[in-house]
Structure 1
Amino acid sequence: MSFPLLPDGTAHPPTRTKGPVTLRRSQVPPTTTDQRLLDSPGESDWVHTDPWRVLRIQAEFVEGFGALAGLGAAVSIFGSARTKPEDPAYQQAHDVAAKLVDAGFAVITGGGPGVMEAANKGAYDAGGTSVGLGIELPFEQGMNAYVDLGVNFRYFFARKTMFVKYAQAFVVFPGGFGTLDELFESLTLVQTRKVTSFPVVLVGTSYWGGLVDWIRGTMLETGRISPQDFDLVHLTDDLDEVVRIILAAQEVHGRAGNGAHHVEPPVEA
């Protein structure tokens, strides 16, 4: 991600966000917190340091729950960070976010560029609450300028919990491995009834059509999933249909959008 030059004309220094902490220049570590957690154990001192990481993980959940507890009805929107403003998916993500705000939802994204920025901008332009859940990465993405309520995480699993816990639906635009990870984790949670069933809507028939055909023609036909599992996924190019699918599911579960896209800032403990 490129940054503007500093006032003295020099390049913006390398930046890393670790939770609430911002590091620059020589303070930027060579690895991320997730990487250090998941690396194979080396010296025996890991036996003593790993238990302390539990407290940091706990703190991430506490911060996330505290920041988002009053959010109300919300929809998580996923898609590629590499999507450019001239890509049709960028404008679609902006427009569907605005429509969701008008329907009474807050909008949650990963807080970065691309589709995430577009959706946050759509929520911002529509006067709704625009939420960004950032993640510490080896390459700094930074929180986009359209996020009203931003929470930075060190650990992917803590961040993923917030996407699921505070959303009533997932809308998925074209994306890469990260988008696929979020898509299939959400489907797995619904399939295994770890979460109350909520809609997962894929936007972009030309992009997702091959995947949906493979799920139907290979996974379903060979008995790897059940017919009702296939019904968990909705595929469309119609942004109004996206909103209709989500509202219909809300009516079934008695959790209609309640105007909670206008949310008070979190109260500090």
Structure 2
Amino acid sequence: MGFRRGQTPTSTTDTRLLENRGEADWVHSDPWRVLRIQSEFVEGFGALAELGPAVSVFGSARTAVDTEVYRTGMDIGRRLVAEGFAVITGGGPGLMEAANRGACEAGGTSVGLGIELPHEQGMNDWVDLAVNFRYFFARKTMFLKYSQGFVVLPGGWGTLDELFEALTLVQTGKVRAFPVCLVGTEYWGGLLDWVRGTQLDAGTISTQDLDLVTLTDDPAEAVALMVAAREQHPTS
């Protein structure tokens, strides 16, 4: 579903699901929402079941095309395809578009998992396989279920959300053999310095938790990390 010429929704399906105004309408409406949620999982599973090895690339929707980091995103997309991966993004503009574009121009499979937002972004032109979601949690499941790792470019709250959810699931053993690579030492370095200097010192994480994420400026190193994980733990 797309909105054009300023006809954007004032709230999203997620918003309406999570609202609790003390009314009794939920008795009548929420059971139907369960069916809608179920349909999103069914659609996602059906669309992606035969995708094959894939890596998700995250990053800001606000990054301009004429930037070095956009070119880095394209390079990562191309390199992933050269190693036999499909590329999955959120399907939006900016660095999501960059990775999709690199994958598409390299002749690979370029996937976009879109989400309903108040400020409608729309699917970028470089997505071959598009799946749109109303619910964030259904979309997140698809990213994790059909990816063999995450490459994380500079981004905002949404990128941080995906990053820390992935690290939590790896730490707790919910997903295994799942590499997470941050690309951009200048951008991400301060965050990892805080993790080491504050969280680690406070004992809220362990030294082993620091090994769950790799930081680099080199697209080749990021892709090599994904390849190494695939070779160590091939899918059946």
TM-score normalised to structure 2 length: 0.96
Distance 1:208 1:25, change over 3 A: closer
Structure 1 residue 214, shift from structure 2 partner: 1.0
Query: Are the aligned partners of 2:133 and 2:139 in contact in 1 as well (CA < 8 Å)?
Result: yes
**Which consecutive aligned stretches of 4+ in structure 1 deviate over 3 angstroms post-superposition?**
22-29
Task: Please name the residue that 1:245 is paired with.
Answer: 225
Query: Are the aligned partners of 2:8 and 2:118 in contact in 1 as well (CA < 8 Å)?
Result: no
Structure 1 residue 158, shift from structure 2 partner: 0.3
CA RMSD of aligned residues (A): 1.6
Task: Please name the residue that 2:149 is paired with.
Answer: 169
Task: Please name the residue that 2:54 is paired with.
Answer: 74
User: Is 2:4 aligned against 1:43?
Assistant: no
Per-residue CA deviation, residues 192-215 of structure 1 (Å, 9 max, x unaligned), is 111113110000000000011111
Q: 1:195 aligns with which of 175, 200, 225?
A: 175
Structure 1 residue 153, shift from structure 2 partner: 0.2
User: Is 2:102 aligned against 1:122?
Assistant: yes
Mapping 1:15-34, distance limit 5 Å = 17=1, 22=2, 29-34=9-14
User: Is 2:73 aligned against 1:88?
Assistant: no
User: Is 2:141 aligned against 1:141?
Assistant: no
Matched AA of 2:155: G
Q: Distance in 1 between matches of 2:5 and 2:183?
A: 40
Structure 1, unpaired ranges of 5+:
1-16, 257-269
User: Is 2:43 aligned against 1:100?
Assistant: no
Query: Are the aligned partners of 2:8 and 2:119 in contact in 1 as well (CA < 8 Å)?
Result: no
Per-residue CA deviation, residues 55-105 of structure 1 (Å, 9 max, x unaligned), is 000000000000000001000000000000122110000001100000000
Q: 1:57 aligns with which of 25, 33, 37?
A: 37
Structure 2, unpaired ranges of 5+:
none
Structure 1 residue 42, shift from structure 2 partner: 3.8
Q: Distance in 1 between matches of 2:219 and 2:83?
A: 13
Distance 1:97 1:194, change over 3 A: same
Matched AA of 1:129: T
Structure 1 residue 147, shift from structure 2 partner: 0.2
SS in 2 for 1:221: helix
Q: Distance in 2 between matches of 1:28 and 1:233?
A: 37
Structure 1 residue 234, shift from structure 2 partner: 0.2
Q: Distance in 2 between matches of 1:42 and 1:237?
A: 50
Distance 1:104 1:26, change over 3 A: closer
Identity, in percent, stands at 69
Q: Distance in 1 between matches of 2:144 and 2:33?
A: 23
Name the structure, 1 or 2, with higher relative contact order (CA <8 Å, separation 6+): 1
Per-residue CA deviation, residues 22-57 of structure 1 (Å, 9 max, x unaligned), is 456797542110110011234212222111100000
Aligned residue pairs, count: 236
Q: 2:184 aligns with which of 184, 192, 204?
A: 204
SS in 1 for 2:202: coil
Q: Distance in 2 between matches of 1:27 and 1:78?
A: 27
Q: Distance in 2 between matches of 1:246 and 1:238?
A: 13
Task: Please name the residue that 2:136 is paired with.
Answer: 156
Q: Distance in 2 between matches of 1:147 and 1:247?
A: 23
SS in 2 for 1:108: strand
Matched AA of 2:124: N
Matched AA of 2:208: Q
Per-residue CA deviation, residues 213-237 of structure 1 (Å, 9 max, x unaligned), is 1111211122111111110000000
